[in-house]
Structure 1
Amino acid sequence: MNETRLLGTVHGARDLKTHRGLFQWLQRDVQSLLPHDILVAAWGDFRVGRISLDVVSALPGVRTTEVLSLALTPFLSGVFEQWVDAGRIPMSCPLESADWGDTSEAERASLSEMKCAVVHGIKDERGGIDCLYVALSRHACDHQFSVEAVEVLLPYIDAAFRKVALLPMQRDATWAGAVLSEREADAADGPGDSILSRREHEIMQWVKGGKTNIEIAQILGISARTVRNHLQNVFRKLDVINRAQAVFEVERRRD
């Protein structure tokens, strides 16, 4: 890696305060060391799909929006799992079969051109969340060069994003995931001496009301897979094999 360019990139990150400044720094300095067309900074609880993000790109229609955040959640959760499985080390992966979800026509037109993702992240031990950075490119991956670049640059990119204030939509408590986290809900006790957690009781109330896993997921803001996992835990704890038996057992224990 060119040391002169690296020093210039580090120096350029010192006084960043605005999204415009961040955009210019990424396009001018970081671009010369880590070529990319879209840079996604994502943070939150990837396990349950409660993710917030920043998207920086010069491509039309690709910006930080609530719609884009929701649409990219499945993709980012999948990339996060790959990164964890790889040992939380820098990695690159092809994007020929990527599912861009329910993005807009303009967003999909740009995202569908991406051929490579370079991925690395940081575990925020103090905040208890994961931060993932994904550089998307329209060109095939140069694995060794890209992985080395993102490993060296990640601390500076992470620090730069943290300096810039959140956009208004990101300060919204619901969108940013500031509500009770899934882990907190998992650990919280249910009513009385129940063996079910608060979240499991909440899900069972919706099951009793006839809601499907997908409907429950939409109501609670979690993934359908997470709902299914909770129900499997409920079945195990109550020693039942289906939803009807689980509802009956919950009501019986409540009486």
Structure 2
Amino acid sequence: MRVADERQVDDERQSWPREHLDAVLLEHPALDNPARFDPFELESVMLNLDASLRIRARHQFFAWTQGTLQGLVEHQLLICALHNDAPARFHVDSFSTVPVEPTHFSELFRQDTFLVPHLVKSWEENHSQVVNCEAASGGQFAGSALARELTRLGASHIVAHGTHDASGQLTSFFTFACRPGSIGPRQAYYVELLVPFLHAAWVRTQVNWQAKSAGARPAATGFLTPREREILEWIYRGKSNIEVGMILKISPLTAKNHVQKILRKLGVLNRTQAVGKALALRILTT
């Protein structure tokens, strides 16, 4: 290492709390390198952390995890599990922009007795370190319906991480299902960095739901026309404007105009946000 580089590293380290520096270098020896983050990576990380702090509702969480967060950790499906004392053990919610039924995967996660226990046990036995594994439906996970569905989806590579309380008990667990070969050590580190923010953001959406549950209102669907709701359903299933046009026997331009009206009425910027908000408002059901 050049003298100039050594001075730069020393200057950076002096600005860090001593205990934080020791922990980072112990857990991540590769980070004892002046090129920790290039400017683009640092900007992307900061954008994601900032976005997480603004989340108050489920559709916002959906838009973040299936939008900006994909730039750091590309995934096909995100399964969020919050530990509780109920018999089901976990409150589970799933998020994806691919044409799958997220509630189906949530239920498979709750019922799984092969893959999920393995992930949680590996996380606990390795002192709460990120779990990286291949969940192809053969081998030790042959009996897992969840593993079979993830394999069918083409997302059999699992990166999982959680949070724990002061007594060391599991609080929440986040499972990223990714395409094989799409996750390396850098992405695993992003997961470790971001999961505390994922936990805080997702818990805030739960608090909002609980506050609203006593006075829950029926879905506010009246401001979308029947045709717009129909197109929104196809957007949710991952169809493009051209595909929507072919299905409904309208031109792609007409389909695009309908999509733009849907975005304006929902007060969102893109199709992903539209789906997230429509789910939150119960215009769409999973």
Query: Which amino acid counterpart does residue 82 of structure 2 have in structure 1?
Result: W
Q: CA deviation at 1:158?
A: 1.1
Distance 2:142 2:93 in 1: 19
Tell me what 2:189 maps to: 148
Distance 1:93 1:140 in 2: 11
Whether contact under 8 Å (2:162, 2:174) holds in the other structure is yes
Q: Specify the SS of the correspondent of 1:165.
A: helix
Whether contact under 8 Å (1:72, 1:100) holds in the other structure is no
Q: CA deviation at 1:60?
A: 2.3
Q: Specify the SS of the correspondent of 1:41.
A: strand
Tell me what 1:250 maps to: none
* Number of equivalenced pairs: 165
Whether contact under 8 Å (1:62, 1:110) holds in the other structure is no
Q: CA deviation at 1:55?
A: 0.8
Do structure 1's residue 3 and structure 2's residue 53 form an aligned pair?
A: no
Tell me what 1:54 maps to: 93
Q: CA deviation at 1:44?
A: 1.9
Whether contact under 8 Å (2:109, 2:116) holds in the other structure is no
Whether contact under 8 Å (2:83, 2:91) holds in the other structure is yes
Q: Specify the SS of the correspondent of 2:132.
A: strand
Do structure 1's residue 31 and structure 2's residue 70 form an aligned pair?
A: yes
Q: CA deviation at 1:128?
A: 5.3
User: In structure 1, which of residues 74, 79, 82 is the aligned counterpart of residue 119 of structure 2?
Assistant: 79
Whether contact under 8 Å (1:38, 1:135) holds in the other structure is yes
Tell me what 1:43 maps to: 82
Distance 2:178 2:160 in 1: 12
Whether contact under 8 Å (2:88, 2:110) holds in the other structure is no
Query: Which amino acid counterpart does residue 50 of structure 2 have in structure 1?
Result: H
Query: Which amino acid counterpart does residue 134 of structure 2 have in structure 1?
Result: P
Tell me what 1:164 maps to: 205
Query: Which amino acid counterpart does residue 32 of structure 1 have in structure 2?
Result: G
Q: 5+ residue gaps in structure 1?
A: 172-255
User: In structure 1, which of residues 93, 96, 100 is the aligned counterpart of residue 136 of structure 2?
Assistant: 96
CA RMSD of aligned residues (A): 3.2
Q: Structure 1 31/100 Cα, relative in aligned 2: closer, same or farther at 3 Å?
A: farther
Q: Specify the SS of the correspondent of 1:133.
A: strand
Aligned-pair identity in percent equals 18
Q: Structure 1 53/100 Cα, relative in aligned 2: closer, same or farther at 3 Å?
A: farther
Q: CA deviation at 1:125?
A: 3.0
Query: Which amino acid counterpart does residue 206 of structure 2 have in structure 1?
Result: A
Distance 1:28 1:155 in 2: 18
Distance 2:197 2:74 in 1: 16
Q: Specify the SS of the correspondent of 1:77.
A: helix
Query: Which amino acid counterpart does residue 64 of structure 1 have in structure 2?
Result: T
TM-score by length of 2: 0.50
Tell me what 1:124 maps to: 165
Q: Structure 1 72/112 Cα, relative in aligned 2: closer, same or farther at 3 Å?
A: farther
Whether contact under 8 Å (2:135, 2:151) holds in the other structure is no
Q: CA deviation at 1:112?
A: 4.6
Describe how 1:83-232 pairs up with structure 2 within 5 A.
83-97=123-137, 98-99=141-142, 101=144, 108=149, 112-125=153-166, 129-140=170-181, 142-165=183-206
Q: Specify the SS of the correspondent of 1:118.
A: strand
Whether contact under 8 Å (1:44, 1:130) holds in the other structure is yes
Tell me what 2:55 maps to: 16
1:132-173 residue CA offsets vs partner (Å, 9 max, x unmatched):
1111112325331222111111111111111113769xx8xx
Distance 2:53 2:143 in 1: 34
Q: Structure 1 144/129 Cα, relative in aligned 2: closer, same or farther at 3 Å?
A: closer
Distance 1:17 1:126 in 2: 28
Whether contact under 8 Å (1:9, 1:30) holds in the other structure is yes
Whether contact under 8 Å (2:136, 2:151) holds in the other structure is no
Tell me what 2:4 maps to: none
